[in-house]
A and B are shown apart, each in its own frame.
Chain A
Amino acid sequence: MDTKVLKLVGIGFVTGIINGLFGSGGGTLIVPALVFILGIEDYKAHATAISIILPLSIISTFIYLKKDIIQYQIATMIAIGGVLGSLIGAKFLNKIPTSVLRKIFGTIIIITALRMIFK
């Protein structure tokens, strides 16, 4: 195995741990890794990230399922809303400036994070 392959496996390993441990966040790690370490264009990185996180999330879901953690009825309601929302989000992805949105999002996330740590 050459170093490029080791690098790819390593990126995957870290992404898998985070995505399994927090049930999310895999995409947040893998997109910058694809862009900055592997030099993939931004719009391709998002699509490629999904093709990586999907199988990892399926594996993690199985482990959560085995422990009876998954609440199906709640998940179904959220999934219906999620599919509709993501279709709308994808349509507007290229039409609205996301830079302002990202700053607002970042601020909300920091406040939320502090609440989760200290409450």
Chain B
Amino acid sequence: MSDAADVQRVLDGDVDAFTRLVDRYYERCARYAVRMLGNRDDAEDALQATFLRAYRSLGKYQERDKFSAWLYRILTNQCRSIAARRNHRDRVFIREEALLLNAPDRRQEWNGDDEEFVQRVLAELDPLLREAFVLKYVEELSYEEMSELTGVGVSALKMRVKRACDRLRARWEHIKDD
């Protein structure tokens, strides 16, 4: 069942066809939203707004677009809006307290398996750098795809990815020195 076929079914009145689209993309979108926003509550808000907007705007979806790209355009915009309007540091701090309750034990050193650590270092990146880094390495998009998605030029995106890597590298060094 292709994405385009399911879109047509939804426009014909079959809401369950949209359920299939959600099934196909929810987890991937959830991962992106959590990496970008740093906590599951904001991510759920972004996912809710994204899929609702996609549902309402399905009539505008053109088949020549890849459905996933069209959906991700909505998702990246929603994540930007939510990140912009909330005081990010406060909210990540509160969620980290919750995460600490679940952590097996507190370790000073990162052993490479700690989701909380990754969320923290990503959260410290400037949102535009974080977005570029996540799209490039987590979503594994090409620069052309990223450019189509964000409306930003390829060379600017490459610069952002490089700066994100530099910052993360420096952060890692700092941890190792602690």
The answer to whether A and B assemble together is no
